[in-house]
Amino acid sequence: MGRIFAIILGVLFIIFIVFLGLRLRQEQGPLFNFGSTSSNLNIDLEEIMPAEWQAYTNDQIKGLVRVNIDASVQDGEVIDAEDEWLLFYHYDLNADKTTSQLGGVIYDAQNRPRGNESVAIPEQSSAYLVPYRLLPDYYLPKTNGYLGDDAVDFQQIAVEINGSIDDQPLTDRLMVRGKNRNAYNRFSIFWWIDEENGYGAAYAYTPGWFSLNPDNPGDWGKWDAGNYIQQLWSWDPLTDRSNLCRRQRWDLTESEYPKFAPQSDNDPTYARYGGEVTFCNGGQPVEPAFPEAQVLAYLKDGNPDRLAAETRTEIPHYNDVEVFKVEGPADLNEGTPPEAKVNVDFNSDEGWRNMIWTVVMIPPENIKEAIRWRIVAAEDR
């Protein structure tokens, strides 16, 4: 009988310990979640994160993420091999918490407050978190950007460092790309400077979207391959009926303060027009529905099928064409058959040209045919 009573007391004691542990965990609040790792920093996230922020999560990002881009190698020894903790967060939330921007901060776990050498470093868990803002920030040159609108993802890569920790390669760059309406329109690169200045940043924004290929508006293959991204192309839709975009190259400048600079910063023509005009889908339509698209397509591919069988003037052919302006008339019903005058400013292997192209409509003969356009004349204006 006494043995049975002892067993019952033991079971009750175990239940009490489990219940007490659950109560203590609830009182402590939510602990840091490190994504793929099961470790905890044993600090309540709400105790360090401003109330105006909300943690961002997705399939890759489950909370705080381990990163390390501030390590260095000196005489074969890895300096500052400890991981830091990256938090992506929503800020400027509306009342319903349905709209916001996305920012980022890296927490550096330390055993004493930064700059306070009087506090000894005991052999225990880190007690202080030093936050280093990525974007947005309040100090130049990081005051004009943020990471994303709807979503972000990231990569760590090695650029100027070589080595490994526990068979994991060292990295010294953090790349972040941000989405708006399912298009990547923000791109950022971060690197470590020092304890006082935190992380340096180079970032780019376009109202349209970025790609990594001037001929393919959706190409992010170099990102998927883990390459260091130093060149982007922006694609910004124009208000028109022919799906036209302004496109220009962005380069990462190697200077004391690296930044992404658009081509218009150094090219007067690009600065004047804001970039060259091309089709937003990266290719020419076979049979354009509007006259300005037919002219642009001909300048891009030189296809003689875009010309009328009988032309009024000799239609020239150009190579290496960059079109900076193409404008067709709003009203397309003048004349019998209707004609349209298209103004085009462009550069080519023969130099700069300002021209007027005349395009004639070929009306459909039956309900199954579409309107077609053919070029009949081209002259300087």
Tell me, yes or no, whether 363 lies in a domain: yes
Cα–Cα distance, 115 to 123 (Å, whole number): 19
Task: Decide if pLDDT at 333 tops 90.
Answer: no
Please tell me the total count of domains within the chain. Answer: 1
Tell me, yes or no, whether 376 lies in a domain: yes
- Provide mean pLDDT across the span 228-241: 96
Q: 135-139, 164-168, 310-314: which range is least confident on average?
A: 164-168
305: DSSP letter: G
Tell me, yes or no, whether 320 lies in a domain: yes
Please state, for a pLDDT cut of 70, what percent of the chain lies above it.
83
pLDDT digits (tens, 9 = 90+) for 35-84: 333 344 556 667 778 989 999 999 989 888 999 999 988 877 888 888 99
Q: 73-87, 104-118, 129-143, 274-288: which range is least confident on average?
A: 104-118
Tell me, yes or no, whether 78 lies in a domain: no
Tell me, yes or no, whether 303 lies in a domain: yes
β-pairing, 77-79 vs 339-348, is unpaired
Please state, for a pLDDT cut of 90, what percent of the chain lies above it.
68
Tell me, yes or no, whether 301 lies in a domain: yes
The residues, ordered by sequence, that sit 6+ positions from 69 with a Cβ below 8 Å of its Cβ are 156, 171, 172, 173, 174, 190, 191, 192, 199
Host domain of residue 327: 291-380
